[in-house]
Amino acid sequence: QINSNASLTVSLAQTPYCKKHRYDPQNPLCAHIIFCGSVVKVSDSEVGLAKKALFSRHPEMESWPKDHDWFFAKFNITNIWVLDYFGGLKIVTPEEYYSIKP
C-alpha cells in the first residue's frame, strides 16, 4: 500500500543450461532478465481472468481462507533489462517484450 514498486530477476542458472555449459551463475553468459515495475490490484473486469490463471496453476489456493483479505494483483512492467553477454545490460521495452510470439 505504501510502495508498490517491485522487481523480478530470472536467470538461466535456475535451469540446467548454465551447469551444462559450465557457466558460473555470475557469468554474463548465464543470462539474467530483470523485470521492474509495480504490483497493482487488478480491476473488477480482470478478476475472472486472474482467478482462472492462478487457480489453473495452483488449484489448492482456491480453498485458502477468504478472511485473510487476499486480492488479485498483476505486475505492471515498466522496465526490462537483459544481461546475456559481456559489455552491460540490454534494454528491452515492455512493448518489444509483449510483441514477441513464443
pLDDT in tens, 19-48: 999 999 999 999 999 999 999 999 999 999
Cβ(30)–Cβ(12) below 8 Å:
yes
The ranges assigned to domains in the chain are 5-99
Q: What is the pLDDT of residue 34?
A: 96
Among 8, 16, 11, residue whose Cα is nearest residue 32 = 11
- Is residue 9 very low, low, confident or very high in pLDDT (cuts 50, 70, 90)? very high
| Domain 5-99 classification at class level | mainly beta
| pLDDT (average), residues 73-98 | 95
pLDDT at 1 over 80: no
**Tens of pLDDT along 59-70?**
999 999 989 888
CB 88 within 8 A of CB 51: no
- 58: exposed, middle or buried (Cβ count in 10 Å: 0-12, 13-18, 19+): exposed
